[in-house]
A and B are shown apart, each in its own frame.
Chain A
Amino acid sequence: MITSKKLSTKIWMYSLLIVGVILSIAPFYWMIVGSTHPSGEIFRVPPKLLPGGFLAKNFQTLSESLGIAKIFWNSLFIAIVYTFVSTLISAMAGYAFAKYRFKGKNIFFFVILCSLMIPFQVTLIPLFEMMVAFDWLNTYQAIILPSLAAPFAIYLMRQNMQAVPTSIIEASRVDGAGELKIFFSVILPVTRPALAAVAIFQFMAQWNSLLWPLITLNSKEMFTLPVALSSLIGMARIDYGQLMLGTTLSTIPIMIFFLLLQKHFISGILGGSVKE
Chain B
Amino acid sequence: MLLSFLSMEVFHQLREVPLVEETEKVVSTAANYRTKTRRNLLTPKTAPYVFIAPAFLLILIFTVYPVISSFILSFQEVRGIEKSFVGLANYTRLIHDPVFYKALLNTFQILIIQVPIMIFVALLIAVGLHSSLIKAKALFRIAYFMPAITALVAASIVFMILLDEHFGLVNYFLSFIGVDKIPWLTSPFWAKVSVILVMTWRWTGYNMVILLAGLQNIPADLYEAASIDGAGKVKQFFMITLPQLKPVFIFTVVMSTIGTLQLFDEPFILTHGGPNSATMTITLYLYETGFKFFDFGYASAIAYVLVLITAIVSWVQMKLVGDTEE
**Which residues of A come within 8 Å of B, CB atoms?**
6, 9-10, 13-14, 16-17, 20-21, 23-25, 27-28, 30-31, 34, 42-47, 89-90, 92-93, 95-102, 105, 108, 111-113, 115-130, 145-152, 154-156, 159, 162, 166, 169-170, 173-174, 176, 178-181, 183, 204, 207-208, 210-211, 214-215, 225-226, 229-230, 233, 240, 243-244, 247, 250-251, 254-255, 258-259, 262, 265-266, 269-276
Q: List 23 A-B contacts (CB under 8 A).
A: A13-B131, A17-B125, A24-B147, A24-B201, A42-B167, A43-B161, A117-B311, A122-B306, A123-B63, A125-B296, A128-B291, A149-B58, A156-B4, A170-B27, A173-B36, A181-B40, A208-B151, A210-B152, A211-B265, A211-B283, A229-B157, A271-B7, A275-B213
Query: In the complex, which of the residues A96, A111, A118 contacts B48, with contact meaning CB atoms closer than 8 Å?
Result: A96
In the complex, what residues of B have CB within 8 A of residue A31's CB?
A: 154, 158
Nearest B residue to A176 via CB reads B36
**Which residues of B come within 8 Å of A, CB atoms?**
1-5, 7-8, 10-12, 14-15, 17, 21, 23, 25-28, 32-33, 36-37, 39-45, 47-49, 51-52, 54-56, 58-60, 62-67, 69-70, 73, 125, 128-129, 131, 133-134, 140-155, 157-162, 164, 166-169, 172, 201, 205-206, 209-210, 213, 217, 251, 258, 261-262, 264-265, 268-269, 283, 286-287, 290-291, 296, 299-300, 303-304, 306-307, 310-311, 314
Contact of A119 with B262 in the complex, beta carbons under 8 Å: yes
With A14-B134, A119-B310, A211-B265 known to touch, is A42 a contact of B161 (CB < 8 Å)?
yes
Contact of A259 with B67 in the complex, beta carbons under 8 Å: no
With A44-B167, A159-B12 known to touch, is A116 a contact of B59 (CB < 8 Å)?
no
CA–CA, A79 and B113, complex, Å: 34
Contact of A154 with B55 in the complex, beta carbons under 8 Å: yes
In the complex, what residues of B have CB within 8 A of residue A100's CB?
A: 26-28, 44, 47-48, 51
Contact of A204 with B5 in the complex, beta carbons under 8 Å: no
Query: In the complex, which of the residues B150, B166, B287, B291 contacts A254, with contact meaning CB atoms closer than 8 Å?
Result: B150
In the complex, what residues of A have CB within 8 A of residue B47's CB?
A: 96, 100, 179-180
Query: In the complex, which of the residues B67, B160, B164, B210 contacts A273, with contact meaning CB atoms closer than 8 Å?
Result: B210
CA–CA, A124 and B33, complex, Å: 46
Contact of B303 with A125 in the complex, beta carbons under 8 Å: yes
CA–CA, A149 and B53, complex, Å: 11
CA–CA, A123 and B62, complex, Å: 8
CA–CA, A243 and B164, complex, Å: 15
In the complex, what residues of B have CB within 8 A of residue A121's CB?
A: 262, 283, 286, 303, 306
Distance in angstroms from A63 CB to nearest chain B CB is: 19
With A24-B205, A225-B151 known to touch, is A116 a contact of B4 (CB < 8 Å)?
yes
CA–CA, A129 and B69, complex, Å: 10
In the complex, what residues of A have CB within 8 A of residue B11's CB?
A: 156, 159, 271-275
Contact of B14 with A274 in the complex, beta carbons under 8 Å: yes
CA–CA, A254 and B307, complex, Å: 32
In the complex, what residues of B have CB within 8 A of residue A47's CB?
A: 169, 172
Query: In the complex, which of the residues B10, B37, B146 contacts A178, with contact meaning CB atoms closer than 8 Å?
Result: B37
In the complex, what residues of A have CB within 8 A of residue B45's CB?
A: 102
In the complex, what residues of A have CB within 8 A of residue B304's CB?
A: 122
With A44-B167, A125-B303, A273-B7 known to touch, is A208 a contact of B157 (CB < 8 Å)?
no
